Structure 1
Amino acid sequence: MKKTFEELKIAKSILKSLDDIGFVSPTPIQEHAIPKINSGVNIVGVAQTGTGKTAAYLLPLLTRLKKPEGTDPRVLILVPTRELSIQVGEDIAELTSYSELRHASVFGGIGWTKHAALLEQGVDVLVATPGRLMDLYRSGALTLKKVKYLVIDEADRMLDMGFMPQLRQLQEIIPVKRQNLLFSATFSEEIEKLSEEFLDHYEKLEIAPSATPVKQVTQTAYMVPNYRTKLNLIKYLLEDEEKFTRVVIFVKTKEHAEGVFKVVERKAEGEKRILHSNKAQNSRINAIQAFKNGEIRILITTDVSARGMDVSQVSHVINFDLPNDYDDYIHRIGRTARAGNTGDAITLIDPSDEWHWAKIQQLIRTSIDLLPLPDAVEVSETEFDENQQQLREIDRQRKIDDPTFQGAFHQKKKRTGSKRSFDDKFARTKVRGKTKKRR
């Protein structure tokens, strides 16, 4: 029988906050993790994004802190990105609305002195990115001798972003006697090694098999021959304002982000924003907050925002490009179907993506339905340069699968009038000056 938050021994002040927020009952990761955390053991929690794992560690830790004490943090929560640092800070603020517990979120991108001033009044819970944490520690603005609980959140992303040296440095400066909690969407060999290095003895909680998408996400895909046709398909899909109410479009590069934004800005209704590494931090934070508040219908972003964006009413995630890291597919589609809602994830696949797409489906142990391109979507010719890039990538993939493969693509080979095999799927005739598929 499902337990209540009261039965999980959550503090009364936090129960009042949960009631205000509208949290009625624990999610599976919360129901399993909270008793373990209360017992004092080290845990590794493997759960998909959107399953409530942030509250799974915040609820018992905030309960155990009880009241403010001293000036140095007793809970240290490490996160990989500034967006996630801000999001976890907002979650803490909501959960402690009837408590006097103090917290702060610190991250790179702004002067460390501002964060140092924030810590002067004292904090009980500190949420930090590894780089900014070490900045504050080295400057003498922060001491970590009172840390009793260490949380490493989004551990797989931590490793992807190269934070292992900072994590090892941290190991040297925080108390040995502490409780360690590590959370990850996947449990790879690297995560297992990290767990053994940081957690010594631990219990593993795996609510769903590693790298499994949230069940409430409906996943579909389209085979699309080229970049221009992808833009045409995006334009077509977003015309349905009643269905596509709040959409995140993920792209691989800032150039693609700008290209998609130009089309969406002209052709789709509703407010739109764009996020990538060239955007100022305040611009990125403001855009995410406006999207969360429902002021923006369409958010176009690189993977800089794939994590730490907790928006409960995202109707669709569209993967305009596949991610470089297959695990990021899980985190991308986890932006929808949050807090018990349902959602849709749509992926656009060009010829050079087919090999990667097969591996993503293998990773998540799911076969995803391919939908035919709608008749109303114009199928554009693949430009010569793009076609060459696709062929080079396909050659590279074949060489990985078969090291003896000599390569079918030749740099100096002249372009012929023959159609490529993938384009054969999109044979077309000219009718009244428009490009249409031949039936």
Structure 2
Amino acid sequence: MEITSFEQFELNRQLLNAIADLGYTEPTPIQQKTIPLSLGNHDVLGIAQTGTGKTAAYLLPLLMKIKYAQGSNPRALILAPTRELVMQINEAVSQLGKYTDLRHLALYGGLGPKTQIETLQKGVDLLVATPGRFMDLYRMGEIVTKDIRTMILDEADKMMDMGFMPQIRSILEVIPNKRQNLLFSATFGGRVERLSGEFLEAPIKIEVTPQASTAEMVSQVLYEVPNFRTKINLLDYLISKDAFQRVIIFARSKATAENIYKFLARKVVESEKIRVIHANKGQNTRINAMDAFKEGNIQVLVATDVAARGIDVAEVSHVINFDVPLIYEDYVHRIGRTGRANKMGEAITFMTIAEDYHVQKIEKIIRMTIPRQPLPELVEVTETPFDEQQDMLRQIDEQRRKEDPTFLGAFHEKKVKNTPAGKDRLKAKAKLGSSKKAASQAAGPRFGSSARKSGGTSGSAKRTGTRGGRR
């Protein structure tokens, strides 16, 4: 039977009213498949990318089953890998359960446990938690697990990437064996498959999109750049465009995120219109930045992957991968921050020659080639500093070793120029080196490192004229 309405799930009126308030009219594919199975007490393994409506897919049947406040001990547990995602799920519980008296609580680190303990002692029906904080409070004797009858793992692949498997196994040991389990993941690699074998009992697998697929509403583009400084120049150029109304910029490290933030706040974006979040930022700072971004009060949010799966904003116009993620599935989750709620979005990736290896791995996972685009003429291409050039060459050597364990390395070799490895390295060095011919091309070099010279109609001169007094 085709399901075209939430009424067909036979949910209670409280939930249907909340669904109507949220403006949901027709269930998404993951909801159509998951809700009946969950209501039927089946274990479910859901493979679904971000933005498909999977949170409501497991929350609606869960809220239907626990229905109303009862007792003092939690009866359901939802685990998520990051505090941002825990907060997001807890907010969804508030929205969908607004007409019920169900008591729910978000448990995560970064804050003292006092307030969370006080709420637990008053009685809760549903816990949404990170694994670490859950186990901390359990060991303190503040969580009684004997009444838990449903356990849900969201973003299981990220759980594995972040090393939560020991905590998850500990949790499985202290909650009742007789329970319903649901596991959701954007990808289904070997580790997630092994986890599902430990965690689920005769699960029904639901896969609404191909594994690690990218959102259909997201257009993707990739720029090949020679170095960090040129990435900054390209970012400067892009952010200045009117179309970039609400942007998330992902960086690989906290230091890079801070550098991007300082540059943009100084040169491009008004300081009150930009925020940065990463693991070193206090919890309240991160919450305030996320809220301001969701409300549209800031234009640019710079983040490390700590926030890749904790942002649910329908109006994100662009995602920029300043660095290519080294956990390849994170590419899917990063770009899934845009193109939500049936709105088009654009994902832009910057790639140096040392990151080309990682892009190839990502393209294999998503089963498509990310379209390349030449650098805009007005973007200044700077010369690659010697230390940065050497670092990239070292990375290329390490990548060769991963693919060929017999590869001895070319970085410190002096007599390898006639070997295949040496030739590959010389080609890479040539791309990284100064090339006046490449720098003078109108479309910009693929991996050139010479600065476009000023004067006449040069990139820097054009750019200064275009930007007026803003620089």
Q: TM-score, normalised by structure 2?
A: 0.88
Quote the residue 1:432 is aligned against: 455
Q: After TM superposition, give the deviation of residue 167 of structure 1 in Å.
A: 1.1
Quote the residue 1:93 is aligned against: 94
Deviations along 1:111-156, one digit per CA (max 9) or x if unpaired, are 2222110112211111011111111111111101111110011111
Q: Distance in 1 between matches of 2:452 and 2:301?
A: 35
Residue type of the partner of 2:268? Answer: A
Structure 1 runs of 4+ off > 6 angstroms?
none
Q: After TM superposition, give the deviation of residue 187 of structure 1 in Å.
A: 0.5
Task: Note if contact 1:428-1:435 (Cα within 8 Å) is conserved in structure 2.
Answer: no
Task: Note if contact 2:45-2:183 (Cα within 8 Å) is conserved in structure 1.
Answer: yes
Q: Distance in 1 between matches of 2:199 and 2:191?
A: 12
Q: After TM superposition, give the deviation of residue 429 of structure 1 in Å.
A: 5.4
Q: After TM superposition, give the deviation of residue 394 of structure 1 in Å.
A: 0.9
Q: Distance in 2 between matches of 1:317 and 1:11?
A: 38
Q: After TM superposition, give the deviation of residue 14 of structure 1 in Å.
A: 1.3
Within-5 A mapping of 1:52-131: 52-131=53-132
Q: After TM superposition, give the deviation of residue 405 of structure 1 in Å.
A: 2.9
Deviations along 1:75-103, one digit per CA (max 9) or x if unpaired, are 10011111111111111111111111111
Quote the residue 1:263 is aligned against: 263
Q: After TM superposition, give the deviation of residue 13 of structure 1 in Å.
A: 0.8
Task: Note if contact 2:382-2:451 (Cα within 8 Å) is conserved in structure 1.
Answer: no
Residue type of the partner of 1:253? Answer: S
For the pair 1:314 / 2:316, whether they are aligned, the reply is yes
Residue type of the partner of 1:258? Answer: E
Within-5 A mapping of 1:275-424: 275-410=277-412, 420-423=430-433, 424=435
Quote the residue 1:233 is aligned against: 234
Count the aligned residue pairs: 433
RMSD between aligned alpha carbons? 2.0
Residue type of the partner of 1:57? Answer: Y
Task: Note if contact 2:382-2:452 (Cα within 8 Å) is conserved in structure 1.
Answer: no
Quote the residue 2:172 is aligned against: 171
Residue type of the partner of 2:453? Answer: K
Task: Note if contact 1:380-1:435 (Cα within 8 Å) is conserved in structure 2.
Answer: no
Residue type of the partner of 1:430? Answer: K
The SS at the match of 2:348 is strand
Residue type of the partner of 1:280? Answer: G
Quote the residue 2:466 is aligned against: none
Q: Aligned in 2, Cα 1:342/1:431: closer, same or farther, shift over 3 Å? A: closer
Q: After TM superposition, give the deviation of residue 301 of structure 1 in Å.
A: 0.6
Quote the residue 2:35 is aligned against: 34
Task: Note if contact 1:102-1:124 (Cα within 8 Å) is conserved in structure 2.
Answer: yes
The SS at the match of 1:222 is strand
Identity %: 50
Task: Note if contact 2:380-2:452 (Cα within 8 Å) is conserved in structure 1.
Answer: no
Quote the residue 2:274 is aligned against: 272
Task: Note if contact 2:380-2:451 (Cα within 8 Å) is conserved in structure 1.
Answer: no
Q: After TM superposition, give the deviation of residue 435 of structure 1 in Å.
A: 7.0
Q: Which runs of 5+ in 1 are unaligned?
A: none
Task: Note if contact 2:326-2:358 (Cα within 8 Å) is conserved in structure 1.
Answer: no
Q: TM-score, normalised by structure 1?
A: 0.95
Residue type of the partner of 1:342? Answer: M
Deviations along 1:381-404, one digit per CA (max 9) or x if unpaired, are 111111011111111112222333
Q: Aligned in 2, Cα 1:358/1:288: closer, same or farther, shift over 3 Å? A: same
